[in-house]
Structure 1
Amino acid sequence: MASSQASGEGKAANEYPVATDARIEQSGETVRLTMMLSSVVAVEAWVQAAPDRVIVEMPSTNFQIQSNTRKSVGFVGGYRYGLFTADKARIIIDLSQPATISKVEVKPVRGGFGEFSVELKRATRADFLAEAGKAKAQAQGAAQPPLAAKPAGETRRTVVIDPGHGGIDPGTMVSSISEKAVVLAFGKALKEQLEAGGRYRVVMTRDDDRFVSLSDRVRMGRNEQADLFISIHADSLMQAQDVRGATVYTRSERATDAEAAKLAAKENEADAAAGLETREEVQDVAGILMDLARRETRTFTGVFARNLVEKLGGSIKMHKIPLRSARFWVLSAPDVPSVLIELGYMSSPKDAELLNSPEWRGKAVTAVSAAIDSYFTRERASVGKAAEFRD
């Protein structure tokens, strides 16, 4: 990995450095990306294969880059940026041909500012893969950070709300509207309503504009011993802008239809947008007891999903096939009932308008909240009694 050390005074920990004035230029076999920074910070960069890209990591940064800034030149197909974790940001540079990093630095300039630059040089496939292999070996050696767990003695039901995407992964983009912003606003509103009643302990996988990996989302649900895990997304189907309505998805190895399979494949690539490998985490459990837990989880998930469709259908427009299933990785916890709600189609002008409407959001949030209440007070109790009778 190529890296630079900060050589100037940093700002207070609660102040993000600001990045502006991005430029990308080519000179012969070299492409150079530069940005101005409000302070000098340390940066690190490495290459990654399949897909081929360069990843630059730095402290959390407020990117104020003009939307019309040039993003591609030569062997660089484009680049994107955003928060990666609570204290890190990333710039992802997509490569159309192999390249290696010849230099990465942040040098101080007058006034306490910094100038970030990364220089990439066209390379052979063999040299590129060799560099990517070194970076992968280092990444695999890094330990996963611990996640919070359910407090001892907590008796309330735990609901984990999972706003999809975030940070460097915007999700679907339509005009100036990003999926990550739409679903975060919905998740926050749902949390507020659920907590107002005092019946639930509500945990959000993210409560700001940061990236959370799919495996961490699943681990969070399990660590928190969630009684329900609700992932929030907004769909897009640009080739059919008349398609509208909300859809509730559950996990299955075989999708109910081609559109559901395609959507799951797209959502399962969320990690790739942030420079992580797109592979599903293998569960560290097996055996008869876990198989029974999976069966029970599928039963509870089905009960909640059907109830959710009913409650949402009474308040907002639903897709013509409102309940579907596919192999969503974020719904893979074997012991946590989990659903994914696609609130609507951002590709539909009408749905896009509604998704940004506080009035519509309020109706949808109230419907989801009612479905949760109903699930815990009636449906789950009846499922449990049926299971006892069978035993």
Structure 2
Amino acid sequence: MYKKFFSLYWLLPVLFLALSAVAQAAQVKDIRVAQQPGATRLVFELDSSVSHRMFPLSNPDRIVLDVSNTDISQDVVNGLSALSSDVLMRVRYAKRENGMRFVLDLNKKVKAKTSELGAAGEYGPRILVELEYGTQNNTAAVVKSLASISDEKRDVVVVIDPGHGGKDPGALGQYKVREKDIVLSIGRELAKRLNAIQGIKAVLTRSTDEYLQLRDRSRIAREANADLMISIHADAFTKPSARGASVWALSLSGKTSEMGRWLAQQEQAADLVGGISLDDKDQLLAEVLLDMSMNSTIQMSLDIGNKVLREMKGVAVLHKNSVQQAGFVVLKSPDIPSILVETGFVSNKTEAKNLSSLTYRRKLAASIANGVEDFFFSNPPDGTYIAWRKNQTGGYTYTVSKGDTLSEIARRNGVSLDSLRSANTLRNDVIWVGQKLSIPAG
């Protein structure tokens, strides 16, 4: 009897540890959404492997994902409002006794499937949910109303990249503010405002306090088929007097170094120059094609940056009155226009206090959103809802900003200078700041 009790006594700690391990719930570290033509993919990133099941419901259409023995942090919950796509309206969640239930509310029926992905690199185990819908090669003639036609036009996709995160706090400033917290807050607010604009969809590279490598941020933008990538940061300097917000685009020197990197990996470069593969091109022709692609991307980045900078001027003190250029890695996607927004200097007491204010961060996010909206409503990409609406309504009104010229406004909006003059009964090319111009349909 004594021997049995003695053996059980020593076995109890082992049993306790085993039961504790079973009771320890996995954590949902992040939820990401990527949009592709005819498909939306959601990635649920976890810190340990778990089992799950998925099933559809109708009236209304939705997908239910049950994940066992799992919990979710408040940071991830706060980022759920920014998760959407052209078929995904929102993601809801509920805690259950045996884990979590996620409900994906849809605006149409989809074919849904899930798969489990093992840990890789910086990422832990993941659950991949794929929502497929529509037929992309359907050539059958169908009579559609204008409303149904507009539903088929894609959104302009803007990827928002809050800098730093996780083990990398970024700049540490006055009042104990941390860059990673400030830019995440601004990024979430910016995503919320852009998603409220019909025809624009925002995707966050991170919606929680997690660390992402620089190249991973660009990869997320490419997977989302981004029309624009906005990287958000907050500066710091040794002199506390330094202050002001700024907007950056890729420099020519940064372009040159990035061309070399992509040309060395030609098998990955097929989509960088309008779908033309570089595999069978000689080195000189490949360089010319990629150079043309990157020149166009940089020019578009500068145009967007100027729109954003003009809007930010009404909220923040500017460090520079024009878009600056540098070789930031996060700006080096050859086919995706990219800007980096420095929201201010956390090393400056006044700006650290401003950036600590939720009201100020919301105003700053609103100004960035206004600049983005202004650019894409002036220059909507082909095949988008905004382009379709612009043509259907016969154009729109543009307010002249400082630095604008009539020829530049015509170029940006894809209309001829003569048609722009005619639409506004202009006898010459003289315009003034604040003037309202009618932009004719393209």
TM-score interval, normalised by the smaller of the two chains = 0.5 to 0.7
- SS state at 2:22 partner: coil
Q: Structure 1 CA distance, aligned partners of 2:220 and 2:213?
A: 11
User: Residue 384 and residue 295 in structure 1: after superposition, are their counterparts in 2 closer, same or farther (change >3 A)?
Assistant: farther
Q: CA deviation at 1:365?
A: 1.5
Is contact 2:227–2:336 with CA below 8 Å preserved after alignment? yes
User: Residue 150 and residue 240 in structure 1: after superposition, are their counterparts in 2 closer, same or farther (change >3 A)?
Assistant: farther
User: Residue 167 and residue 378 in structure 1: after superposition, are their counterparts in 2 closer, same or farther (change >3 A)?
Assistant: same
Matches within 5 A, 1:178-327: 178-237=178-237, 239-254=238-253, 284-285=268-269, 287=286, 288-327=288-327
User: Residue 176 and residue 10 in structure 1: after superposition, are their counterparts in 2 closer, same or farther (change >3 A)?
Assistant: farther
Percent sequence identity is 30
Where does the alignment leave 5 or more consecutive residues of structure 2 unmatched?
Answer: 1-16, 30-47, 50-69, 77-119, 137-151, 255-260, 270-277, 279-285, 381-409, 419-442
Instruction: Please name the residue that 1:79 is paired with.
Output: none
User: Residue 243 and residue 222 in structure 1: after superposition, are their counterparts in 2 closer, same or farther (change >3 A)?
Assistant: same
Q: CA deviation at 1:374?
A: 0.8
Q: Structure 1 CA distance, aligned partners of 2:128 and 2:333?
A: 15
- SS state at 1:173 partner: coil
Task: Find the structure with the greater CA-based Rg.
Answer: 2
User: Residue 347 and residue 382 in structure 1: after superposition, are their counterparts in 2 closer, same or farther (change >3 A)?
Assistant: same
Q: CA deviation at 1:291?
A: 2.8
Runs of 4+ in structure 1 deviating by more than 6 angstroms, as ranges, are: 144-154
Instruction: Please name the residue that 1:9 is paired with.
Output: 22
Matches within 5 A, 1:83-162: 155-162=154-161
Of 316-325 and 303-312, deviating more is 316-325
- Can you list the C-alpha shifts for 1:172-212, whole angstroms capped at 9, x where unaligned? 11253211000000000111111122321110000001111
User: Residue 148 and residue 370 in structure 1: after superposition, are their counterparts in 2 closer, same or farther (change >3 A)?
Assistant: farther
Q: Structure 2 CA distance, aligned partners of 1:254 and 1:146?
A: 40
TM-score by length of 2: 0.48
- SS state at 2:334 partner: coil
Instruction: Please name the residue that 1:45 is paired with.
Output: none
TM-score by length of 1: 0.54
- Can you list the C-alpha shifts for 1:211-249, whole angstroms capped at 9, x where unaligned? 111111011111211111000000000x21111110101
* Count of residues in correspondence between the two structures: 245
User: Residue 344 and residue 308 in structure 1: after superposition, are their counterparts in 2 closer, same or farther (change >3 A)?
Assistant: same
- Can you list the C-alpha shifts for 1:318-347, whole angstroms capped at 9, x where unaligned? 114552111100001001110000000000
Where does the alignment leave 5 or more consecutive residues of structure 1 unmatched?
Answer: 1-5, 17-40, 43-59, 63-82, 84-138, 256-279
Q: Structure 1 CA distance, aligned partners of 2:166 and 2:25?
A: 22
Q: CA deviation at 1:253?
A: 4.5
User: Residue 149 and residue 190 in structure 1: after superposition, are their counterparts in 2 closer, same or farther (change >3 A)?
Assistant: farther
Matches within 5 A, 1:335-354: 335-354=335-354
Q: Structure 2 CA distance, aligned partners of 1:385 and 1:150?
A: 35
Letter in 2 for 1:382: R
Q: Structure 1 CA distance, aligned partners of 2:131 and 2:291?
A: 24
Instruction: Please name the residue that 2:403 is paired with.
Output: none
Instruction: Please name the residue that 1:367 is paired with.
Output: 367
- SS state at 1:319 partner: coil
Q: CA deviation at 1:61?
A: 12
Instruction: Please name the residue that 2:272 is paired with.
Output: none
User: Residue 321 and residue 15 in structure 1: after superposition, are their counterparts in 2 closer, same or farther (change >3 A)?
Assistant: closer
Is contact 2:26–2:71 with CA below 8 Å preserved after alignment? no
User: Residue 312 and residue 149 in structure 1: after superposition, are their counterparts in 2 closer, same or farther (change >3 A)?
Assistant: farther
User: Residue 312 and residue 226 in structure 1: after superposition, are their counterparts in 2 closer, same or farther (change >3 A)?
Assistant: same
Is contact 2:244–2:344 with CA below 8 Å preserved after alignment? yes
Query: Going by fraction, where is strand more abundant, 1 or 2?
Result: 1
Q: CA deviation at 1:295?
A: 1.7
Letter in 1 for 2:335: D
Q: Structure 2 CA distance, aligned partners of 1:289 and 1:156?
A: 27
Instruction: Give me the CA root mean square deviation.
Output: 4.1
Q: CA deviation at 1:254?
A: 4.0
- SS state at 2:319 partner: strand
Q: Structure 2 CA distance, aligned partners of 1:192 and 1:306?
A: 22
- SS state at 1:203 partner: strand
Q: Structure 1 CA distance, aligned partners of 2:128 and 2:248?
A: 26
Q: Structure 1 CA distance, aligned partners of 2:131 and 2:246?
A: 30
